[in-house]
Chain A
């Protein structure tokens, strides 16, 4: 059983990461800041101007520890992996599944079913916690609509139809999303999803969380030996981690949206944690990023019971388990991919 290895996030500009025997040492302005035995770390995520010595990079590559560079605002820039590993037969099975006339559609159907179920769970929880029936109504209504789309899903005969249902569900969900934000005076407003750049704090937060989640999903797929670029729901495009995006869909509501709502509704994030740029872009600043990174890591430690495997485990291991279930399906050991359904 894989244990949940920690991720080291470095966002202090000018930090230097070096290998010291079997430990990783972080130095800032020549002074040691942190020393961690490598066996605690599953991956490194570095924001902006952070240097890594070649020796540390080589060691991480050799051990299968991924290193990713993101911009200060969480936009993915580069990622280093070691030699191609994993099971070549599994990757072949993955490519063959893609060429099959039916299997991409069936996998996409299950991925979308998982996403819709989990979006619905977020809406229903919001409706339960809403202040009064008036506040709950738009949420229950959106949840009902998602349930209808879920019922249509088994009948969709083309991949395009499934993508259409997913798009429809997302629109309905984000239309209801403002009602999930509690508190009067509209501290944070949300008028629909926007990105590149995000135009309000809620969108900035969602984008940042999705980037962290994508990193974890791609890492999980690589961990089981799948090719993160060969996706089924998402079309192939050079440089696009289509399978990473596929795997992320069912997890966005839980590790992204639900966490964002908690941070905003508990006022753990305030206006001061965001920078407004000329031109309208809104981005998390250093203090805000740190709060989100800590909250994200803590969320991953929360124990859940996996409904398919009937096993207790930290939420952060779910991407790894789902990657393994997908691999089992591609190998033909499972007749369908079972998505993760959050309670």
Chain B
């Protein structure tokens, strides 16, 4: 399934800035950055559980906000993109 992870992590304190880094890294482990605080991830049920667990373990429940959306598939049909787009489809042929 395809999920969209968005977050707003408070960066007023050094601890908050560290959380921001950690949240970004956890998202990178499962998908890719499509905007500054927005990640798209293709995951199975097991990876989805892991992703949620990893993220909820990092965020501060009072100061930060995390939203995870399941995307309607096929994504190409339901998501429109304008402006710059560096997204790589990891399911398509990967040839470097």
Contact = CB atoms under 8 A, between A and B. Distances in A.
A35 interface: yes
A36 B31 CA distance: 7
Interface in A28-77: 28, 33-37, 39-41
A10 B96 contact: yes
B7 interface: no
Interface stretch (A19-27, A218-226, A254-262): A19-27
Interface stretch (A176-184, A186-194, A290-298): A290-298
B62 interface: no
Contacts, number: 65
Given A23-B28, A39-B30, A8 B94 contact: yes
Contact of A294 (B28, B42, B47, B93): B93
Nearest to B96: A10
A39 B90 CA distance: 10
A3 B44 contact: yes
Contact of A34 (B29, B30, B88): B88
Contacts of A33: 96
A200 B9 CA distance: 60
A35 B25 CA distance: 12
Nearest to B88: A34
B30 A8 contact: no
A36 B30 contact: no
Given A3-B44, A21-B25, A40-B42, A35 B95 contact: no
A39 B43 CA distance: 8
A11 interface: yes
B96 A37 contact: no
Nearest to B30: A37
A126 B54 CA distance: 54
A9 B96 contact: yes
Interface of A: 3, 6-12, 15, 20-23, 26, 28, 33-37, 39-41, 290, 293-294, 296-298, 301
Interface of B: 25, 28-32, 41-44, 47, 88, 90-96
18 contacts: A6-B90, A6-B91, A6-B94, A8-B94, A8-B96, A10-B96, A11-B95, A20-B28, A21-B28, A22-B29, A23-B29, A35-B28, A37-B28, A37-B31, A37-B90, A294-B93, A297-B93, A301-B91
